[in-house]
Amino acid sequence: MANPTNVSESPNTDAQMSGKRRRKKSLVWEHFTIETINAECTKARCMQCKKSFAYISGAKLAGTSHLKRHISLGICPAGRTNENAGQIIPYTPLPSVNSTQDVIVNDLPRKRQRNTSGSTSVSFYQDRCRHDIAKMIIMHEYPLNIVECSAFMNCVNALQPQFPAVPLDVIEQDCVQLYRREKQNLFNVIGSILGRVNLSLDMLWSNDQSVGYAVITGQFIDYDWKLHRRILSVVVLPFPDSDSALNHAFLSCITDWNLENKLFGITLDESFANKDARENLKRLLSVKNPLILNGKLLIGSCYARVLCQLAGDALGSLRETVNKVRDSVKYVVTVDARQQRFNDLKLQLQVPSTKSLVLDDQTQWNTTYSMLVAACELKEVFSCLDTFDLNYQITVTMEEWRQVEALCAILKYVLDAASPLTGPTYRTANVFFHDAWKLQLELVHAAGSNDVFIRTLTRSMHERFNKYWNDYFLVFSIAVVMDPRFKMQLVEFSFTRIYGEGAHDWIKAVSDGARDMFLNYQVQMLPAPTFVVDGNGGFAHEEEEEETVLHCEIIKTEDSDNELFLSTSDGFSDFDLYISGITSHESMKPELDQYLEESILPRMQDFDVLGWWNQNADKYPILSKMASDILCIPVSTVSQDYVFDMTCKKMDRYRSSLRPSTIEALVCAKDWLQHGSSDYSPDYSPSVSPTSVVKAEL
């Protein structure tokens, strides 16, 4: 006979309970649904494994004990699969909402949230799903309103029919909450570093370019001597052309991240930072931190943008010829029959080139370079193409082909100079010296070439890069001096190649700059002066007292030379004093001199300069701190994906319509998540604002 208690646990007891107080339903119905087979048979269906169990057969009620065992004892195979997969939140379907089970998930009674299997409650399962949706939106730059898209909802319903629709404002809050948590983590990391932070500023523009978004990135070396580059702030600039716009952006970032005493230098894109704006910014920063080398390293220019401008100058000087070559390539590659005819002609002429023709993306100058190189190797085929294809009527003369080849040779130097920017990881500043000085050397030679075309082609390029080199060579040079494989020797070698007899002044500028910078660090790291009472009851510096005591000991030793000598068995006491004096003198030599006088290390392809300084930090405590700051200077303001970009970056119309705080959350969180996945944390309180989280630490 059926147990009366079990009868009361049936979800279809409205009729039986008429006129009586409804009793609470069993927890088992969070995992099972009722399906009617026929008028005489009703079964319970597991939501996880979809297996059916006996429940009502005619007048007989099977009860729920066997259903509880199916869940609580781990009999269900779906439950075991989820557990073996190591999921943080087990599969826990939400109860259906119907006339007999009108249950709101977030308002479940406390008793119904208990689970005999020890799994997490349903509400946390929902939060985890919303966390993953927010992470997906951030990482792939989907619009927030994707949660209201019918196709997205159909996909979610197919995976989990009970998962409720997420309102637009809720998913926006979830994205901001994830950003706040990651910001607090990064804030703690930056607060723990021993060195300084370098900043760089890049711009995103609205579609009409009337509003700018200053993307400020921080570059620093952590306690383990690992280089980090993270976007710190996105500041909306309604009037980006004003002289105070940059001040507002940087001041906001410096204050928000507590960098008043940690700032080292700033790198800008000169295309939107005019001279007046840079001077205003320098005055602002001079108040925030002591100037290094009279401000010569305080503000730098973007290396990638300068290289793009060089490529633009070169391509612009030969624009008509480049367009003719581009039209020739377009004629061939856009129609399969023409491509086949071109390839057949190439085989007949036995042209050895292995390159394939590809039409360039005119917004990326490196693709134009690749197109021109391939076309030059196939110029013989283009020259004969009109005889095999009467529709081809583009004529590129041999002189024009010669000019294109010269253009490619010049662009190759620019491409090589940009290669350190395109790697999978960000590089320390010392890496850029070699390619930068080689580019300067080649442009100097090209500007003085006997070939009129070469001189004309490279004149504007040389003027532009020479200005950049004169303003920024100290950064490259002092950074490479901090590389124990090169030190001053590479500076002397390269400057002699560039400047010949006039190299001495340039080399001296680097040497003096490194020493002045080291002196600045030495002064900053001096301990606070302490005083001791002298024999006359006065005060003297502790260092002076130690020196007096040492002097007295030496005089006493000199007055009793014979006594000391006679008391020594081997007779080398004077020699020992002599050696100790030499050792003491050498230990007083500045760290920079000790470092430079040591032999350079053998060159290795995968040399870890930061790892070397980590191992030698105890030997060079002051110099290592200087090295950490100079090596993490960002020479470029753009990411690897935009190194060759010839156009300004724009924000799509939808994102531009969002609140500034939401834009910053989406942009920053994507950058941070790319360097480490954010784990779901149900304990994080969404009610705490990003500002309050950070300010609490300040």
Burial class (CB in 10 A: 0-12, 13-18, 19+), 667: buried
The range of the structural domain enclosing residue 405 comes to 303-422
Q: Are residues 297 and 182 in the same domain?
A: yes
Q: Which of 54, 73, 92 is where one domain is finished? A: 73
pLDDT of residue 681: 61
Residue 536 has pLDDT above 60, yes or no: no
Helix axes 398-418, 303-317, angle to 10 degrees: 180
Residue identified by tokens 């010669």 is 402
In a domain, 592, yes or no: no
276-290, 397-411, 647-661, 669-683: lowest mean pLDDT where? 276-290
Q: Which of the pair, 680 or 628, is modelled with greater confidence?
A: 628
Structural domains of the chain, count:
3
pLDDT of residue 427: 92
Residue 306 has pLDDT above 60, yes or no: yes
Q: Are residues 282 and 311 in the same domain?
A: no
pLDDT of residue 116: 44
Q: What span, in angstroms and rounded, lies between the C-alpha atoms of 448 and 467?
A: 17
Burial 637-664 (b: 16+ CB within 10 A, else e): bbbeebbbbbeeebbeeebbebeebbbb
pLDDT single digits (tens) 331-352: 999 999 999 999 999 999 999 8
Q: What span, in angstroms and rounded, lies between the C-alpha atoms of 156 and 86?
A: 22
Q: Are residues 338 and 252 in the same domain?
A: no
In a domain, 507, yes or no: no
pLDDT of residue 172: 94
What is the token pair recorded at 110? 């406390």
471-480, 534-543, 605-614: lowest mean pLDDT where? 534-543
Q: What span, in angstroms and rounded, lies between the C-alpha atoms of 486 and 491?
A: 8
- The torsion angles phi and psi of 498, rounded to 5 degrees, stand at -80, -50
pLDDT of residue 570: 55
Q: Which of 406, 422, 438 is where one domain is finished? A: 422
Q: Are residues 258 and 287 in the same domain?
A: yes
Q: What is the mean pLDDT of residues 97-123?
A: 41
Q: Are residues 298 and 184 in the same domain?
A: yes
Q: Are residues 51 and 34 in the same domain?
A: yes
In a domain, 395, yes or no: yes
Residue 12 has pLDDT above 50, yes or no: no
pLDDT single digits (tens) 177-221: 999 999 999 999 999 998 999 999 999 888 888 899 999 999 999
Residue 490 has pLDDT above 50, yes or no: yes
In a domain, 159, yes or no: no
Q: What is the mean pLDDT of residues 523-545?
A: 56
Q: Are residues 345 and 291 in the same domain?
A: no
Residue 85 has pLDDT above 50, yes or no: no
Q: What is the mean pLDDT of residues 411-434?
A: 93
pLDDT of residue 293: 53
pLDDT of residue 573: 59
Q: Which of the pair, 645 or 28, is modelled with greater confidence?
A: 645
Q: Are residues 273 and 352 in the same domain?
A: no
In a domain, 98, yes or no: no
Residue 71 has pLDDT above 80, yes or no: no
Largest CA distance in the chain: 123
pLDDT single digits (tens) 359-390: 999 999 999 999 999 999 999 999 999 888 88
Q: Which of the pair, 196 or 12, is modelled with greater confidence?
A: 196
Q: Are residues 199 and 267 in the same domain?
A: yes
Q: What is the mean pLDDT of residues 556-584?
A: 48
Instruction: Report which listed range, 109-113, 138-142, 297-301, is most confident.
Output: 138-142
Q: Which of 422, 452, 477 is where one domain is finished? A: 422
In a domain, 619, yes or no: no
Q: Are residues 374 and 295 in the same domain?
A: no
E strand or H helix that includes residue 171: helix 168-192
Q: Are residues 207 and 287 in the same domain?
A: yes
pLDDT of residue 70: 79
Name beta bridge partners: 56: 42, 61
Q: Which of the pair, 649 or 401, is modelled with greater confidence?
A: 401
Q: Are residues 293 and 353 in the same domain?
A: no
E strand or H helix that includes residue 579: helix 573-587
pLDDT of residue 112: 42
pLDDT of residue 576: 58
What is the token pair recorded at 215? 């993307």
Cα distances (angstroms) measured from residue 347 to each of 278, 300, 335, 336: 58, 52, 19, 17
Instruction: Report which listed range, 286-300, 491-505, 640-654, is most confident.
Output: 491-505
In a domain, 164, yes or no: no
Q: Which of the pair, 411 or 275, is modelled with greater confidence?
A: 411
Mean pLDDT of the chain: 79
pLDDT of residue 375: 95
pLDDT single digits (tens) 146-159: 999 999 999 988 88
In a domain, 505, yes or no: no
